[in-house]
Chains A and B, each alone.
Chain A
Amino acid sequence: MESDAKVIPIHPSPYNLSRQAAEAQTVLDHIVDDFSDNPESMRYFYDLFRRVYCQGEELKHEGLLVGTTCIHAPEELIYAFGATPVRLCNGSYHYDQRGADFMPAKSCSLVKATLGMLNSETVIPKIGKPDMIVNPTTCDQKKKASAMMENMGYSVYDLELPSVKESEASRVYWQRSVRQFAERLRELTGRKLTRKNLKEAMAKTGRAQAAFRTLHNFRRQSPSLILGKDAFLVTNAYFFDDIGRWTAAVEKLNEELAQREKAGFKAVQSKAPRVLFTGSPPIFPNLKLPLLIEESGGVVVADETCSANRMLYDMTAVDEWLVNDMVDSLADKYLKPCTCPIFTRNDDRRRRLLDLVSSFNVDGVVYQAFAGCQVYEMEYRSVAEEFNKAGIPLLYVETDYSPDDKGQLSTRIEAFLESLKNRRKQRA
């Protein structure tokens, strides 16, 4: 049809001048420049975030793109079907504000930011439109996000996750869910799930996990060889980076840490309080809390969050390398060890935290709960009781992506770290 009316294109301002870019730039500069002795091999990750978050560089991927909104989506299956998974969980305050339209005022920043990102024209990281979004039915807010994402024009697959993980019935239920997911992926990609491609996919993830575990183990060293903010950056990169490149970069980082260990290098002072980070996940650029801890002289030595440890730590064991056994094994790995608070009981989470405290020689625990993330808020009580019994100081911080409370948090964290130092002195 002909039309006289002329469309006058509005040229958007370049991304690197946008608010989001500025937000990312500020945090990244802080991470890189305000700390001395950053590991040389961290440069790969600094550059990666700069390119992707600050310059808006496009990310290339192989095959179809499958977005995941949670660690429960088995990435090995996605790789096996020749697609690329990308974790959509977002940490940007800018998107958090844009996503506020979808959710009640007092809801989880992470979910709001994810929705805000998916709803914006300029999706950062620039991954392109996912061919499918897998949304495991975890917490209420993520569950309700399904329909909203669908309304935005995405194809959404609800991966049914049981809310009890101890029972055999839910295990069987979940195994079936995973099988159905594989079936959905087969329809989507038109490929077949074979022993060979699943094995290769599992090898990819397995190697990445092994690299992560090595990094994790280096963090047991006291005084620390690497700061928590770098570790978080590394695991955040896993969300969108090419898995092979990521693994190689982590292995390189591990080599450097091994050298640091040999040289007796200290990334922090010996008296720096060692902090275990738990609760709502820090996702770049929202590394507010870990950064505050490490600015104030503490060091995050371990974490129990789904953006790092929980995502990569637990490994799959397979007895018979046949498709059926591999798929069921994967299902087990994604359900049984998970310490997510959406499950009815949190015994495993408490036991995991106590184990981390003892094996990482932790002085105190920082518990982050995003305002509106009910499950973490509700679990606080039982976790606090457990630590109280064990005599381990715990700082509970309710916050969100907004930078407004930074000053107030800084004071609290400094005071907490000071008390940890005093405790240590008293003990000595």
Chain B
Amino acid sequence: MKASNTRLQAVRDAVNRVDLKNFRFWFQIVAFVLFVYGGYFAIDLGSRLPFFSCGYNDEGRAGICYLLPLQHQLSQPWPRLFSLASIAILTGFLTFTLWFIVLNKGWCGYICPLGTIQDWITALRRRIGIRYSTYSESQFEQLTKVKYLLLALMILIPLGVGGGLFSHDVSPPFCLICPARMVLPAFTGDVSQFTIDFSSKTAMVMTALGIAVTALFLVGSFVRKRFFCFFCPMSALHYLLSKPALLKLKKDGNKCTRCGDCYRVCDMGIKEIADDVTTVNIMTDDCTMCLKCVSSCPENGTLKATFAGIPIFESTEEGFIKRMGKGLQHGK
């Protein structure tokens, strides 16, 4: 009994010492290959995935982002929407929720191909040696609401389409402006999304808007870490469902020195992670659960990721010194 406990402790210590940056880099590559090229290996994980495994990536995808079928379902004619289809919508939402609660927002930080691409763009910028930009506090507070606005529009516009208020050319509205629609299929050689559709005015406006957002995405994620995640309606939807999630980011405020190291490394620039010492479930709506905060916290057990209540990755002084020390030696 005792031997197994010490062995478990040894495993935990090893995990807590892990070079998270490296681990995450490779994990993201594997996830990226799986979800962008998995289709070629006949992998199909359904169409209720809680991250941007883009459905427009027709050949390579190993599953479809839930937002596409959701918008599709919501844009059905009203008589059907409020009868037969409502059951399908509910079961779809349930499946999505089941997927989501496994990893919580960990889907964003570790799996989402669009998130991974942003991290690669960030890595490129870092390579070149260009500093990143941040939002000021007031900008942050304003912009953080955008994702909820997009979520609301993403639900209301398809409903309007189904009710005949809008043209079918605006459906699915979010997909049309989502950079993943253009960027991810391009990885399997399908660049057909990089077009302007001149078939109608609405289609023209929507496709031009999509191109514009993709262009902004490329520039934005070059100068700001995880630029798009800040506006992602999926992220907003995640947060609304995050209560029962299994993977959790927890903070022990008593041990926190508010040194701000976690805030310092946060890709999203979430101040609460450092300053809030009363909330236990510290994950906010902007969080991507990349766990960089945990890896850069020098206080033992202050921040931790737990799965179903079991700690799986904890902040330790030893791990911090090892990781930061490695950063210091790097490039010497």
Chain A residues at the B interface, C-beta cutoff of 8 Å = 166, 168-169, 171-172, 195-196, 199-200, 202-203, 206-207, 210, 213, 217, 313-325, 328-329, 332-333, 335-337, 348, 351-352, 354-355
Bitwise, B294-316 to A at CB < 8 A (1) or not (0) is 00101000000000000000000
Q: Report the minimum CB–CB distance from B296 to chain A (whole Å).
A: 4
Given the contacts A317-B264, A355-B255, A210 and B325 also touching, CB distance less than 8 Å:
yes
17 A–B contacts from the bound complex (CB under 8 Å): A168-B136, A195-B129, A199-B328, A199-B331, A206-B328, A317-B262, A317-B264, A321-B330, A325-B131, A329-B264, A332-B263, A332-B264, A336-B258, A336-B263, A337-B257, A351-B256, A354-B254
**Given contact pairs A316-B324, A317-B298, A319-B265, A332 touches B257 in the complex (Cβ within 8 A):** no
In the complex, how many angstroms separate the beta carbon of B221 from the nearest chain A beta carbon? 14
Name the one of A166, A203, A213, A323 contacting B328, with C-beta atoms under 8 angstroms: A203
Question: Would you give the shortest CB distance from B255 to chain A, in whole angstroms?
Answer: 6
Also in contact, A333 and B331, with CB within 8 A (given A213-B317, A317-B296, A320-B126)? no
Contacts known (A166-B275, A168-B137, A322-B131); A206 close to B259, Cβ less than 8 A? no
B120 CB, nearest partner CB in chain A, Å: 14
Contacts of A314 in B (CB 8 A): 257, 259, 298
Whether B321 lies near A352 (C-beta < 8 A) is: no
Q: Are B264 and A168 in contact (CB under 8 A)?
A: no
| Contact A351/B277 with A210-B321, A315-B320, A316-B324 known, Cβ cut-off 8 Å | yes
A147 to chain B, nearest CB (A): 32
On whether the beta carbons of A319 and B264 are closer than 8 Å, the reply is yes
**Are B331 and A348 neighbours in the complex by a CB distance under 8 Å?**
no
Q: How far is the CA of A168 from the CA of B257 in the complex (A)?
A: 17
Q: Which of B121-144 contact A (CB under 8 A)?
A: 126, 129, 131-132, 136-137
What would 11 more interface pairs be, CB under 8 Å, given A336-B259, A337-B259?
A166-B275, A199-B328, A206-B324, A210-B321, A217-B317, A314-B298, A315-B321, A315-B324, A333-B260, A335-B260, A348-B257
- Assembly CA distance A318 to B253 (angstroms): 22
User: A317-B264, A319-B292 known; A196 and B331 CB under 8 Å?
Assistant: yes
Residues of A near B189 (CB, < 8 A) are: none
Give the distance in Å from the alpha carbon of A199 to the alpha carbon of B298 in the complex: 19
The docked-state distance in angstroms from the alpha carbon of A169 to that of B129 is 27
List the A side residues contacting B317 at CB < 8 Å. Answer: 213, 217
Chain B residues closer than 8 Å to A217, beta-carbon distance = 317
B residues in contact with A317, CB < 8 Å? 259, 261-262, 264-265, 296, 298, 320, 324
Quote the shortest CB–CB distance from B322 to chain A (angstroms).
10
Report chain B residues within 8 Å CB of A206: 321, 324-325, 328
Query: Is residue B271 contacting chain A, with contact meaning CB distance below 8 A?
Result: yes
Residue of B nearest to A333 (CB): B259
Q: Is the CB of A336 within 8 A of B131?
A: no
- Judged by a CB distance under 8 angstroms, whether B2 is at the interface is no
Q: How many residues of B contact A (CB 8 A)?
A: 37
B258 and A318 contact, CB distance less than 8 A: no
Asked whether, in the complex, the Cβ of B332 is within 8 Å of the Cβ of A200, the reply is yes
Interface flag for B192 (CB, 8 Å): no
**Cβ of B264: which chain A residues have Cβ within 8 Å of it?**
317-319, 328-329, 332
Report A-chain residues with C-beta under 8 Å of the C-beta of B263.
332, 336
CA A324 to CA B132, docked complex, whole Å:
9
Q: Once bound together, how far apart are the Cα atoms of A129 and B317, in whole Å?
A: 38
Residues on A with C-beta less than 8 A from B131 are 320, 322-325
For the complex, is B327 an interface residue (Cβ under 8 Å from A)? yes
Q: Is B6 located at the chain interface by the 8 A CB criterion?
A: no
**B329 at the A/B interface (Cβ < 8 Å)?**
yes
Q: Given A319-B292, A336-B258, A348-B257, A199 and B332 touching (CB < 8 A)?
A: yes
Please give me the residue from chain A that is nearest to B261 by CB atom: A317
Q: Looking at the assembled complex, report how far the CB atom of A75 sits from the nearest CB atom of chain B, in whole angstroms.
A: 15
- 9 nearest A-B residue pairs (beta carbon): A317-B261, A337-B259, A336-B260, A203-B328, A317-B296, A168-B137, A319-B265, A324-B131, A337-B257
Interface bits B218-256 vs A (CB < 8 Å: 1, else 0):
000000000000000000000000000000000001111
Residues of A within 8 A of B298 (CB): 314-315, 317
Q: In the complex, A100→B330 CA distance in Å?
A: 50
The residue in chain A whose Cβ has the minimal distance to the Cβ of B21 is A319
| A325–B130 alpha-carbon span in the complex (Å) | 10
Write out the residue numbers on chain A whose beta carbons fall within 8 Å of the beta carbon of B327: 318, 321
CA distance A217 to B325 in the complex (A): 19
Determine whether the beta carbon of A352 is less than 8 Å from that of B129. Answer: no
Across the interface, name the chain B residue whose C-beta is closest to A201: B328
B112 within 8 A of A: no
- Nearest Cβ on chain A to B263's Cβ, whole angstroms: 8
Residue on B with the closest CB to A336?
Answer: B260
Q: Are A352 and B257 in contact (CB under 8 A)?
A: yes
For A167, the closest partner residue in chain B by CB is B137
Q: What distance in Å separates the Cβ of B291 from its nearest Cβ neighbour in chain A?
A: 13
Complexed CA–CA distance, A200 and B254 (Å): 33
Smallest CB separation, A305 vs chain B (Å): 15
User: Once the chains bind, are B331 and A316 in contact (CB under 8 Å)?
Assistant: no
The yes or no answer to B274 lying at the interface (CB within 8 A) is yes
Query: Known interface pairs A166-B275, A206-B324, A318-B327. Does A332 touch B254 (Cβ–Cβ under 8 Å)?
Result: no
A195: which of B271, B320, B331 is its contact (CB, 8 Å)?
B331
Closest CB in chain A relative to B314 CB, distance in Å: 15
The answer to whether A203 and B329 touch (CB under 8 A), given A315-B321, A325-B132, is yes
A320 surroundings in chain B (CB, below 8 A): 126, 131-132
Taken together as a complex, chains A and B put the C-alpha atoms of A335 and B274 apart, in Å, by 13
* A318 proximity list for chain B (CB < 8 A): 264-265, 324, 327
User: In the complex, what distance in Å separates the CA atom of A168 from the CA atom of B138?
Assistant: 10
A417–B275 CA distance with the chains assembled, in angstroms: 36
Compute how far the CA of A277 lies from the CA of B149 in the bound complex, rounded to whole angstroms.
53
Q: Which residues in A have their C-beta under 8 angstroms from that of B261?
A: 315-317, 332-333
